[in-house]
Structure 1
Amino acid sequence: MRFDLIDLKLYCDVVDAGAITAGAQRSALALAAASTRIRKMEDTLGAALLTRSRQGVTPTPAGRMLLKHARTILAQGALLREDLGAYAGGVSGEVRLLANTNALTEFLPEALSQFLAAHPHVSVDLEERLSDEIVGLIAEGVGDIGIVAGTVEMGALQTYPFRTDRFVVVTTAGHDLAKTGRVAFADVLAWDFVGLDRASSLQRFLAGKAAREGKPLKLRVQLRSFDAVCRLVECGVGVGVVPQTTARRAAKTMALGIVDLTDDWALRDLTIVIRSLDELRPYARELVESLRA
């Protein structure tokens, strides 16, 4: 049985993404090449590794066993690169960081820039995910460090406070909602929305909340940043849900109304989650300490 590291990484990426296409993108492989590699792995093993359906792929019992060992092998490979990197004069450490939309867009750019400037031989693999997904992936050892909303159940993971923010509704300055000051998310669903790309963790979260209210989230346009959302809201395209820090910054240069959401989930106590500080590689531990500071 011969699986190389590219095979193992591809397989983990496919399982994490829940689709061969998305897994191939994460591994920087063409879809045809990725499909061929997965098929050859199954032929070599003599058993199916993935159950395929219209909803995506899930690992079979054999696939779950391979996943467990593949992650161990890849983690050891990362440790080997880290230990030898200093001798080679290149990147001597890599940290995989998973974060929700709020943390990724509002707080991590500054925090990471300071850390990376102080550690020129360390790289950070940053990925956006939903908070509950992050907790599961950190528990499974897929990521080193996660930053999640404090409202999710974190089980036995070690946690540290990170930042506090809240989501608000942004509108045009003269909008009816702007006159209320406070509103429930369910009452905002009557208006058209300007939002982030449907693949973003926040947009998926809001769509789920709208579904629980039995109402559609009427997205007129999807963009790549909160600042872009604010610009189109100012132009009267729709209303948006953004972090309060973003809204206050944008309101300095744009004619916006800012309306507090009364829902409990709108207040975001962002939390750092890890499996164990002792299990982290040195640079990952240093990043945790840097984020806490």
Structure 2
Amino acid sequence: MRFDLTDLKLFLRVLETGSITAGAAHAHLALASASARIRGMEDALGVPLLQRSRRGVEATAAGRTLLHHARLITQQMEKMRADLGEYASGLKGHIRLLCNTSALTEFLPDALAAFMATHPQVNVDLEERLSSDIVQAMREDLADVGIITDSVDSSGLETRLFCEDRLVLVLGPGHPLGKGLRRNGSLPFAATTEHDFIGLAGDSALQQFLGEQANRLGKRLRYRVRVRSFDAVCRMVASGAGLAVVPESAVLRSRDAANVKVAKLADPWAKRRLLLCMRGYADLPGYARELVDALASFHDTA
């Protein structure tokens, strides 16, 4: 049984992306070459490593075992690169970071930019996902560091506070839900589900999360328009096109903050903390630990 580092990295990328095609692209291999390598690994072991379906690929029991060891080996290689970084030019560290919508749009840009400015030899692969999916990915060793809300079960993972933020309801000046609403008043999310929403374009983790909350109420949200930023969401709300649920920080920095009415959501899940999570801080490469430290301290200096 002979697996080289290219095989192991390919296997990791395939399971991270859920697709042999996407995994091959991330590993910079042709699809035919990637497929041949996966078949060769399965032939060498005599068992299937991947379960293939229309939705993509998942690891079999043997595949999960290989995944665990592949992560350990590649992490050890990353640690070696970090230790040798002072002596060998051109060697770079690589961190896979998963986060939710609020972290990606409201807090990470400044915090991550500050870290990367002082760590030019570190590359960060950043991906937006639901907090529940991030926790699952961390438990399966598919990422180094995650940023999640404290509303999900993170048992078995180490966590540190990244920042605090609240989801709020944003209403136009003449919206019926705003009539009679006192300053700093609150409304339950259930009161919004019969109204038109303004949301983010694409497969936003926040929109998926709000959709799940609506499903629990037996409702389905109606999006009248989807735009590409929270600032644009607030602008559309101010124009009277619909209402929106956004991070409070996004409203505060919006150019249309004075033109909208903000109400707190009475639901417990709206008030949340964003947490850094990892399988084990001590097991991370040195530069990944430095990223965790930098992000954990950023909310104290911001």
How high is the TM-score relative to the length of structure 2? 0.85
Deviation at 1:18, TM superposition (A): 3.2
2:235 match: 231
Distance 1:29 1:259 in 2: 50
Distance 1:110 1:175 in 2: 34
Structure 2 vs 1, CA of residues 162 and 29 (structure 1 numbering), >3 Å: closer, same or farther? same
1:17 match: 17
1:215 match: 219
Counting only pairs closer than 5 Å after superposition, residues 1-293 of structure 1 correspond to structure 2 as: 1-24=1-24, 26-27=26-27, 34-179=34-179, 180=181, 181-252=185-256, 255-293=259-297
Structure 2 vs 1, CA of residues 4 and 227 (structure 1 numbering), >3 Å: closer, same or farther? farther
SS of the residue 2:254 aligns to: helix
Q: Deviations over 1:62-82 (max 9, x none)?
A: 222221222122212222332
Distance 2:279 2:102 in 1: 22
SS of the residue 2:132 aligns to: helix
Structure 2 vs 1, CA of residues 159 and 88 (structure 1 numbering), >3 Å: closer, same or farther? same
SS of the residue 1:148 aligns to: strand
Distance 2:12 2:291 in 1: 24
Distance 1:114 1:85 in 2: 20
Q: Deviations over 1:87-113 (max 9, x none)?
A: 232354332222111112111111111
Distance 1:173 1:206 in 2: 23
Specify the code of the residue in structure 2 equivalent to 1:185: F
2:300 match: none
SS of the residue 1:88 aligns to: coil
Contiguous gaps of at least 5 residues in structure 2: 298-302
SS of the residue 1:160 aligns to: strand
Deviation at 1:35, TM superposition (A): 4.4
Structure 2 vs 1, CA of residues 280 and 239 (structure 1 numbering), >3 Å: closer, same or farther? same
Deviation at 1:28, TM superposition (A): 5.3
Q: Deviations over 1:232-273 (max 9, x none)?
A: 333433322210010122155662222221111011211122
Q: Deviations over 1:184-229 (max 9, x none)?
A: 2122111222222452221221111111111112223333332232
Check whether the contact 2:238–2:256 (CA below 8 A) recurs between aligned residues.
no
How high is the TM-score relative to the length of structure 1? 0.87
CA RMSD across the alignment: 2.5
